Amino acid sequence: MAATLLLGKLEAKGEFPPTSQSRRADSARLGAVQHATTQWRRRLSASDPGHARLTNTLAVTAAVLVSTGASWLIVRHELADRGFFASAILLTVQLAMTVDDDTPRGRLATSAAALVPMVAAPAAAALLDQWRGIEIAFFIALAGLAIWLRRFGSRSGTLGMVAFFAYFYALVLRPPPSQLPGYLLLMACVTGGVVLVRLLLLHERPGRQLAILLSELRAASAAALTAATGAVPGTDRFRLLKGRLRAVDSVAWAIAGWQSRFPTADVVDCTDRTLRNRTLDARIDVEHAALEVSALVHSRGPGVLTGPLHHALDDLALMLDDAPSSAWKDAADRARRQRTAAADDLPAGLATYLTARSTLAHWALRTIDLNAPYRDDSSGVDVATVSDSSPTAGPPVTPRSAAPTGAAGPSRAFWRTWAPSTRMAVQAMVAAGLATVVGEAIDASRWYWAVMASFMIFVGTTRSSVLTRASRRVIGTGAAVALGIVVAVVLDGPSYWHLLIGLAGVIGAFYLGPLNQIYSAFFLTLLVVSQYGLLGVLDPRLMTLRLEETVAGMAVGVLCAFLVFSTDSKHALAAAVTAYLDALTTLVRGIGAAMTRPGQTGALLAAAAALDRAQEKLDAIVGSMSLSFVNGRRSRVTTLTHLMRVASRSAEHAAQSAIHVTDRAPGEQLGGAGADVFEGAVAHVVENAARARAVLVDGAASTADPEDTSVADACAQLRSAAEATPSHALLLLTRVDWALVSACQIRSKGA
């Protein structure tokens, strides 16, 4: 089953038993359905580890249904105008989208606290309705206040955003004094619906969450192995393999996130460090096996998937299959024998060895009892575990300044010392004021759309992130407006189709929106389209006007981000690169310590987790600034981020080898000349990391020598001394060293 899994097939090996042609056809159809279901499940697992986005989407949909039902009752009993119904739905979505606390209790508390701005902001709008100038000035001030409040934390920023949105919808609807109580009652119902759903989600099932994550780790691993066949460098298949390896990383990071929220030992039958170590083993071994199988098939053809490798892949596929099986232990026993017997001189020897290791790594995760807390006893199955007596924190890292050396000095602009929230609050207020003028010029009755558009792009902290966000929102809004024009032509008057479109908008905004701002803007605009349709005012001219106001508002916002107290994006990128290289240096030093001293497992696991976080943050910053990387610069940035991923993955592979060494009995680590050789190689890698920092952050000329083979020579010395595991770790550090030197060369050539 496993070798066929690598070939992207799920049907069983061998011939169908002699049956009628119809039964063969039924079996083929069933196999096709199972294949499609499996592929879809793997894609969902890769993009949404732990079903976090799916859970949030269902919760928000439920909140929308609750608030919609309450609003309908209020409108039906003539306590509020029918037009207020749409604002209740939209505000429910905005409130749910804005609340982003880390814990369920935090999200519940913030949702409850939102009642104050949800009621106060519309009341203020109604009070200022007779003074247009003051009304607009207050709206502009709210835009700045909502941005500035972020400096006090997530909850303060959320309440500021809620106040801005509540005031905005009050400007749109302008409830008369006689209907203000009914409108405020609607706002209370909106808040109550969100609070009710958050209250129902307060009780979490951490054991169930971990079980889902482990299942998704197996699914992502199987998907990576499937993509390994035919993954020739430079081809779409190889890019698919890299994407699926990133999916394995994402699920592993999600498991680490689960561990940061829950005490592992109180939920499942293992310690926090044991789960971290086993997850690292499963992640690294599968990634290593997939890359080795890919290289093997590329060099020798699919015919190499025979013999011991074929059986090893069968066992791994069985272990990755979530269907309950009594054969998992037998597969682990066979993998243990295959790991011992795999011969390096055979063409598929290394691939067989790595595949067997992957099977054992996932078997170690399967042996964890997810339904009982940790029992401190010495009994258990024969799996690779680590001692829990070693320290759990890595060595401290002293952060370096990320700013270029010439950034400081008396000529530096005074506002560069401001907090990002203060600077962006001023930018947002200037943008809102200008957007008001531009919006009035386009259409005096819809000017607030331009203000909303200019406000929505001030989420990042740099001008490049603002530009990227604005471009994505324009694309998403434009696509939704085009669809809205079609809907306006096809559907005449309110219909149930508008309800379905609105439901699709809610689900899409929360499930797909976090992946890209284009999706978020598209589905939120689609939700607005549905509400206008329900109110009977949807027409092509209105949709065109919406697009014009949106483009104008975002253009004003981008200009303000670039011209008013502008901050160069290089500083944010330099800070992320510095943090990444600091984390990489810490892990490399930890690997050197683990090879010579026992009890370093905890430090290595902490350092590997820190490197994962730094890599994730660097990827996020590069993604948020993607539009500023044009032509050759974008190509260089893509290559540099790829090299850093190579360095991260190789360093974590080496850390895995170091954990096996440091977990041995005292005295079995490297000593004497071997220790000196290893420490010298580590020092060389650390030195090249410092050179990379100087080149990438400070803009210095590269002094790294691409012809230097110090680390490779050290690897050869240890291999000749029969130090298999340390030499393997050094081989991986050779890749780290190569990635750092290559980064220096690429940056220098592109300077």
| pLDDT tens by residue, 174-205 | 888 888 888 888 888 889 988 988 888 877 78
149 vs 39, higher pLDDT: 149
Domain end (from 142, 168, 203): 203
User: For residue 213, what are its two tokens?
Assistant: 């994550």
Q: At what angle do helices 154-173 and 180-200 cross, to 10 degrees?
A: 140
Q: What is the pLDDT of residues 538-556, one digit of tens each?
A: 888 888 888 888 888 888 8
Q: Is 386 a member of any domain? A: no
Instruction: Inform me whether the pLDDT recorded for 537 exceeds 60.
Output: yes
Name which residue leads in pLDDT, 624 or 650.
650
Lowest mean pLDDT among 75-79, 98-102, 368-372, 435-439: 75-79
Question: What percent of the chain is modeled with pLDDT above 70?
Answer: 79
User: Does 478 map to a domain?
Assistant: yes
Structure pTM?
A: 0.69
Q: 164-168, 191-195, 250-254, 403-407: which has the minimum mean pLDDT?
A: 403-407
**Residue 32 covered by a domain:** no
Residue 737 or 2, more confident? 737
| 45-68 pLDDT tens trace | 555 665 778 888 888 888 888 888
Whether residue 294 is contained in a domain is answered as yes
Of the three residues 566, 584, 618, the one that is the final residue of a domain is: 566
Q: Quick one: 551 and 680 in the same domain?
A: no
* One-character DSSP codes across 416-459: GGS-HHHHHHHHHHHHHHHHHHHHHHH-TTSHHHHHHHHHHTTT
The whole-angstrom separation of Cα 502 and Cα 332 is 50
Q: Tokens at residue 189, please?
A: 């119902």
Pairwise pLDDT comparison (359 vs 641), residue with the higher score: 359
Residues 176 and 234 in one domain: no
Percentage of the chain beyond pLDDT 90 is 6
Domain ranges, residue 312 = 206-367
Average pLDDT, integer, range 133-161:
89
pLDDT of 559 reads 81
d(CA 5, CA 163): 53
- Residue 407: pLDDT band (50, 70, 90) is very low
Query: Which of 340, 367, 394 is a domain's end point?
Result: 367
Claim to verify: residue 192 and residue 78 sit in the same structural domain: yes
Whole-angstrom Cα distance, residue 385 to residue 364?
8
Q: How far is CA 229 from CA 4, 210, 582, in A?
A: 10, 30, 35
Cα-based distances in Å from 288 to 26, 284, 380, 649: 38, 6, 28, 9
CA distance 439 to 437: 5
Contact between 253 and 625 under an 8 Å Cβ cutoff? The reply is: no
Residue 700 falls inside a structural domain: yes
Domain match, 117 and 92 both: yes
Q: What is the mean pLDDT of residues 70-94?
A: 77
Length of the chain: 751
Say what the pLDDT of residue 566 is. 63
Q: Which residue has the tokens 């200019």?
A: 454
Residues 495, 541, single domain; the answer is yes
Q: Of 375 and 92, which is predicted with more confidence?
A: 92
User: Do both 591 and 544 map to the same domain?
Assistant: no
Q: What is the pLDDT of residues 244-287, one digit of tens each?
A: 888 888 888 888 888 888 888 888 888 888 898 888 888 888 88
Are 196 and 247 found together in one domain?
no
Q: What is the mean pLDDT of the chain?
A: 77
Q: Out of 236-250, 283-297, 413-427, 500-514, which region has the weakest mean confidence (pLDDT)?
A: 413-427
Tell me which range, 220-224, 336-340, 560-564, is most confidently predicted by mean pLDDT. 220-224
User: Does one domain contain both 661 and 615?
Assistant: yes
Per-residue pLDDT at 85 exceeds 80 = no
State the pLDDT at residue 413. 58
* Residue pointed to by tokens 């706002």: 187
**Does residue 321 carry a pLDDT above 80?**
yes
Please check the confidence at residue 358 and state whether its pLDDT lies above 50: yes
Residue 635 pLDDT more than 50? yes
660-715 confidence digits (pLDDT tens): 777 765 566 677 777 788 888 888 889 988 888 888 887 777 777 777 777 777 77
Q: What is the pLDDT of residue 634?
A: 61
**Token pair of 276 as six digits:** 């971290």
Which residue's entry shows tokens 């793997």?
Answer: 42
Q: Are residues 183 and 237 in the same domain?
A: no
Tell me, yes or no, whether 672 and 609 share the same domain: yes
CATH code of residue 637: 1.20.58
Could you tell me if 634 and 535 lie in one domain? no
Q: Please check whether residue 35 lies inside any domain of the structure.
A: no
Looking at the structure of the chain, the number of domains it has is: 4
User: Does pLDDT of 33 surpass 90?
Assistant: no
Give the single-character DSSP code of 399: P
The dihedrals phi and psi of 624, each to the nearest 5 degrees, come to -75, -15
Domain contains 600: yes
pLDDT recorded at residue 598: 79
* 6: in domain: no
Tell me, yes or no, whether 557 and 624 share the same domain: no
